[in-house]
Structure 1
Amino acid sequence: MITHTDHITGPTLDTIAQIWLSSNLEAHSFIDPNYWQQNFATVKEQLATAELFISNDANDQITGFLGLSGDYIAGVFVAAKFRGEGIGHQLLTAAKASQTKLTLSVYAKNKKAVNFYSREGFGLTNQEIDEPTGELALQMTWTRSEAK
């Protein structure tokens, strides 16, 4: 089940923040782990009031989430034990239903994510060096195609 919210607290916030941290550490082995750990508290504060799509399983366990700021996807994060079950696709489908255009930035070295977003209909629109990490980041965009 996917829920759409803009305010989380308590255990929900703690779980979402841990998924953010562990997912970033696992997906970005090419970035110093201290970068993610040093940003954890700030990101957790931002998550508390961010627009989120949250995925829960049948037991109401949080399996993943998507953060959205306007039409910008700040990230899609799925807990490790739930990856490969289509949760990222479900989260993107929910976000696509609420927008006519979505943009995101993904590290070029994160090949799994680049391929995932390409399969989901996102196209490359730009690339630039991400200043804090020094890594090449790809900007990708999805636009809803209206039936004629």
Structure 2
Amino acid sequence: MIEIKERNSKLIQDLVNIWESSVKTTHLFLSDDEIYAIKQYVPQALKEIPILIVAENEHEHLTGFMGIANTMLEMLFNSNENRGQGIGKQLLQYGIESYSVNELTVNEQNPLAKGFYEHLGFKTYKRTELDEQGNPYPLLYMKRN
């Protein structure tokens, strides 16, 4: 796990590629047009997130990342080819241990992510019918005790 301070354009593009790979696999409720529209905001979010942690494989290729603000997990994505290898769990556990992550939001229509977070001790305390952009994608707000 590496905390990134300097966020150059190549790093941002590499992380956007991981984001897109992950979202196309896990967010099946989104159309290609919606993914494209959201993708336009990802570089700025990556530049602005206070804490950005990346995971690399043994060849120093990026495999996943997470963003944290205060004690809130704001983003956690693994490239599709690296899913199921424990990278997300390692990232989240690192966030919990090093940054006291204890809260997150997840799309209800992403049941694998919801189950993953529940497995790591997060429980839903609130649900909204719409996402933060007002789209009809219910969000689950989860906390870890």
Structure 2: stretches of 5+ with no match in the other structure:
none
- After TM superposition, the score normalised by the length of structure 1 is 0.87
Amino acid at match of 1:75: M
- After TM superposition, the score normalised by the length of structure 2 is 0.89
Superposition pairs of residues 24-35 of structure 1, within 5 angstroms = 24-35=23-34
Superposition pairs of residues 92-103 of structure 1, within 5 angstroms = 92-103=92-103
Distance in 1 between residues matched to 2:11 and 2:103, nearest whole Å: 26
| 1:125–1:139 contact (8 Å) kept in structure 2 | yes
Distance in 1 between residues matched to 2:121 and 2:74, nearest whole Å: 17
Name the residue aligned to 2:37.
38
Moved more, 50-59 or 125-134: 125-134
Deviation at 1:113, TM superposition (A): 0.5
SS of corresponding position for 2:41: helix
Distance in 2 between residues matched to 1:12 and 1:61, nearest whole Å: 11
Deviation at 1:72, TM superposition (A): 1.6
Moved more, 110-119 or 65-74: 65-74
SS of corresponding position for 1:140: strand
SS of corresponding position for 2:40: helix
Name the residue aligned to 1:137.
139
Name the residue aligned to 2:66.
66
Deviation at 1:45, TM superposition (A): 1.8
Deviation at 1:9, TM superposition (A): 1.1
Using a 3 Å threshold, how does the CA distance of structure 1 residues 84 and 29 change in structure 2: closer, same or farther? same
Distance in 2 between residues matched to 1:36 and 1:3, nearest whole Å: 27
SS of corresponding position for 2:135: coil
Name the residue aligned to 1:89.
89
Amino acid at match of 2:33: N
Runs of 4+ in structure 1 over 3 Å off: none
Deviation at 1:126, TM superposition (A): 0.6
Name the residue aligned to 1:104.
104
Count of residue pairs the alignment pairs up? 142
Distance in 1 between residues matched to 2:100 and 2:13, nearest whole Å: 31
Distance in 1 between residues matched to 2:45 and 2:8, nearest whole Å: 11
Structure 1: stretches of 5+ with no match in the other structure:
144-148
Amino acid at match of 1:44: P
